């Protein structure tokens, strides 16, 4: 191919050009740009058989239309010659060149466009001149320049593609970086964090109640001195006044917490201490960190005595509520006191662990606010590097033959390389689905539910954060911080159980009338409600060992209850590509195949791509693949350690010496010895 100049009158659109649908779009804008800057990219042409000396444009049809438009407007002469690259070839080759020229284009990203416009402005151009040269509207350029003033973390997220242009525009609805960052941090893990309308509303109406922990920590005087505005609400005295400039309050709180963090770092000797303006440490702050397990600091005699006093006072408050209160003011005061006691109990129990001097420089912690607006040290310590894995002769989450399934992320006895731990989101979903399996069985076992209810209410022994009972009982359903609730057969079964309950007693308007209606139900109806409410109080928990994972942990009482009800998790939950296999690595999938079919079967899938292997595993573990009967049986009985309920010693044994109520052991391998997954790769 060679470059030559060809008169415009001898150039024609080629039928071999693959661009058909949008060929007329933005021709005026392209014409304006070519008129200002000239033709920056030559046309690709091929000679026509007739008329002789004429050429068809294989690549550059829109540029040809734009040049003709300039001629129509009288901006270019009719006899203008155009730079062209001549192509020799048949129609098929011409179409291929046209396809390559259109398909291989990489459009500028929004952030590249923003940087370019900002560069032109810095070089002395004005918006109108840029619009004229590029054939764009003034509004388009001004909108892009507005995005150039986004706070750095938000602009970086747009540049990386983690947020959309609409989300970025929502944040750019204010020029205040403080307000942008305030909403950005609030929406980091919010379920509507990708909703532009929600972000825009929060930007426009962001305010703080004067009773919030942040406002209490900052103080009204400091807030007003910094220029903060306050709007009094005479009709909502209990919620306090509104602080309209919440970004100012958050900035002051951040500065105070930073100073507090420096003090903590000096006193503790930790490698780092980071302030978080909030009452909890969110996932975004710890996503790249690793929790560090340290020895729990023992409670002093004074602390133990205070815990006992708090427990007694909380019991007295509960008794007063159960007896009934005539004065709403007394009820409000008691609720406030109960909440204050709970907060104090948490502060006493969540003490920082004992950290050796050698470990201190490599760990850190967060400082946050408690519910009363006081700065506190979060009890969990973190490291920026993963802790060194230690060998252990004991296996956790093991199968009946004594070899673990390996989905816990630890190193095996056979020298297997470490498998990547399950993601926190997957651990969260699996723990919820495991809880639902237990709950769906508890919901149809009133006797066990009643025992659990009575035990949880009667047992007042302080646990100091250990050996938790794994149920909220008196509380509403526990929160589930997931983007979307993971559906499962057990979840659907719970919904069916709820639909089958007698709800006639819920229709009266007054509490007394509803209570009388409930009291009139027969014992079976009451027992059904009891079992369902207890079942819905269960907190998420995870099976097996929590090694390298974040999120919910295991619960021995959950395992023991499952043993009492002889729950087979495989009958209530099956792994699919969506709920499990797509979420773990290829090595882990091969390990699971090895668990049910041995190394020979796993080796046959070594060449499979990850996506194809996930779909294969879904069919294999659903029993839809033609395999040996024993392999199919093992596949249908298999669940990952995170879902499985394990056997827990109850302190009593039967005649055979086995713990009573122990769950059935998981199905063993299908007759073949487990091997290292890396061995399969080398084979």
Q: How many residues in the chain? A: 683
Residue 222: its pLDDT value, please? 93
Token reading at 568: 């087979």
| Cα distance between residue 176 and residue 248, in whole Å | 11
pLDDT of res. 440: 83
pTM: 0.36
Alpha helix positions (H), 464-538: 489-499, 511-519, 523-536
Q: At which residue do the structure tokens 């009985």 appear?
A: 637
Longest dimension (CA), the chain: 106
pLDDT of residue 457: 47
> 162-167 contacts: CB < 8 A, separation 24 or more?
163/194, 164/194, 164/196, 165/110, 166/196, 167/194, 167/196, 167/199
Answer whether 574's CB lies under 8 Å from 622's CB. yes
Give me the pLDDT at residue 275, please. 92
Stretch (H or E) spanning 323: helix 301-323
Q: Is 213 helix (H, G, I), strand (E, B) or coil?
A: helix
Query: What is the pLDDT, as a whole number, of residue 485?
Result: 63
Q: Answer whether 9's CB lies under 8 Å from 62's CB.
A: no
- Pairing between strand 381-383 and 290-292? antiparallel
What is the predicted pLDDT for the residue at 247? 80
Report the pLDDT value the prediction gives residue 660, as an integer from 0 to 100: 45
Low-confidence residues of the chain: pLDDT under 70: 1-2, 16-26, 89-108, 133-135, 189-193, 204-206, 233-240, 283-284, 328-329, 351-352, 387-418, 450-451, 453-469, 473-485, 511-512, 514-515, 518, 544-553, 648-683
Secondary structure, 3-state, 561-616: HHHHCCCCHHHCCCCCCCCCHHHCCHHHHHHHHHHHHHHHHHHCCCCCCHHHHHHH
CATH architecture of structural domain 2-103 = Alpha-Beta Complex (3.90)
Supply 419's token pair. 């498998």
Give CATH 3.90.1530.30 domain extents, the chain.
Answer: 2-103
Counting other chains too, the contacts that 410-415 makes at CB distance below 8 Å and 24 or more residues apart are 410/545, 410/547, 410/548, 412/676, 414/674, 414/675, 414/676, 415/676
* Partners of 382 in the β-ladder: 291, 364
């Amino acid at each position: 191919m060679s470059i030559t100049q060809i008169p415009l009158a001898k150039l024609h659109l080629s039928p071999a050009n693959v661009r058909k649908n949008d060929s007329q779009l933005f021709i005026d804008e392209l014409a304006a740009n070519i008129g200002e800057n000239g033709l920056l990219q030559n046309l690709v042409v091929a000679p026509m058989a007739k008329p002789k000396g004429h050429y068809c444009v294989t690549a550059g049809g829109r540029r040809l239309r734009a040049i003709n438009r300039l001629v129509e407007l009288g901006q270019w002469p009719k006899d203008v010659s155009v730079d062209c690259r001549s192509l020799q070839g048949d129609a098929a080759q011409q179409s291929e060149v046209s396809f390559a020229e259109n398909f291989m284009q990489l459009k500028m990203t929004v952030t590249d466009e923003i940087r370019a416009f900002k560069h032109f402005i810095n070089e002395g151009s004005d918006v109108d001149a840029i619009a004229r040269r590029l054939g764009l509207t003034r509004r388009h350029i001004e909108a892009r320049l507005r995005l150039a003033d986004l706070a750095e973390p938000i602009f970086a997220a747009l540049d990386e593609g983690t947020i959309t242009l609409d989300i970025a525009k929502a944040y750019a609805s204010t020029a205040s970086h403080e307000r942008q960052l305030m909403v950005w941090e609030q929406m980091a893990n919010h379920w509507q964090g990708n909703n532009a309308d929600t972000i825009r509303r929060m930007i426009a109406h962001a305010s703080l109640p004067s009773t919030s922990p942040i406002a209490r920590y900052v103080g009204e005087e400091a807030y007003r001195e910094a220029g903060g505005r306050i709007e009094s609400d005479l009709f909502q005295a209990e919620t306090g006044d509104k602080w309209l400039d919440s970004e100012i309050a958050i900035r002051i709180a951040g500065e105070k917490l930073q100073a507090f963090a420096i003090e903590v770092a000096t006193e503790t000797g930790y490698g780092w201490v980071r302030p978080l303006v909030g009452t909890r440490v969110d996932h975004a702050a710890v996503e790249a960190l690793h929790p560090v397990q340290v020895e729990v600091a023992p409670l002093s005699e004074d602390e133990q005595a205070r815990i006992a006093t708090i427990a007694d006072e909380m019991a007295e408050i509960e008794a007063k509520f159960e007896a009934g209160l005539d004065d709403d003011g007394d009820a409000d005061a008691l609720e406030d006191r109960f909440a204050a006691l709970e907060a104090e109990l948490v502060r006493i129990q969540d003490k920082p662990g004992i950290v050796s001097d050698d470990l201190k420089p490599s760990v850190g912690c967060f400082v946050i606010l408690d519910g009363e607006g006081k700065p506190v040290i979060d009890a969990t310590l973190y490291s920026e590097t993963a802790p060194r894995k230690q060998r252990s002769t004991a296996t956790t989450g093991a199968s009946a033959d004594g070899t673990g399934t390996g989905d816990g992320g630890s190193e095996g006895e056979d020298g297997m390389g470490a498998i990547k731990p399950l993601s926190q989101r997957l651990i969260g979903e699996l723990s919820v689905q495991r809880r639902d399996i237990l709950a769906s069985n508890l919901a149809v076992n009133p006797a066990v539910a009643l025992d659990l209810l009575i035990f949880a209410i009667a047992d007042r022994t302080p646990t100091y954060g250990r050996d938790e009972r794994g149920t909220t009982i008196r509380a509403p359903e526990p929160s589930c911080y997931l983007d979307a609730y993971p559906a499962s057969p057990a979840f659907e079964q719970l919904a069916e159980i709820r639909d089958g309950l007698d709800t006639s007693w819920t229709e009266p308007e007054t509490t007394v009338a509803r209570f009388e209606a409930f009291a009139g139900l027969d014992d079976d109806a009451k027992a059904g409600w009891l079992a369902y409410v207890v079942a819905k109080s269960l907190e998420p928990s995870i099976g097996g060992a929590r090694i390298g994972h974040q999120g919910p942990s295991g619960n021995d009482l959950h395992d023991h209850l499952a043993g009492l009800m002889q729950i087979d998790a495989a009958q209530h939950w099956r792994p699919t590509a969506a709920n499990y296999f797509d979420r773990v690595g290829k090595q882990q999938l091969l390990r699971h195949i090895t668990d049910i079919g041995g190394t020979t079967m796993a080796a046959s899938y070594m060449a499979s791509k990850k996506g194809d292997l996930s779909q294969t595993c879904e069919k294999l573990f659903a029993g839809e693949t033609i395999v040996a009967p024993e392999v199919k049986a093992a596949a249908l009985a298999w669940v990952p350690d995170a879902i499985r309920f394990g056997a827990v010693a109850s302190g009593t044994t039967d005649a055979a010496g086995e713990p009573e109520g122990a769950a059935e052991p998981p199905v063993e391998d299908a007759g073949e010895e487990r091997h290292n997954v890396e061995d399969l790769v080398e084979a």
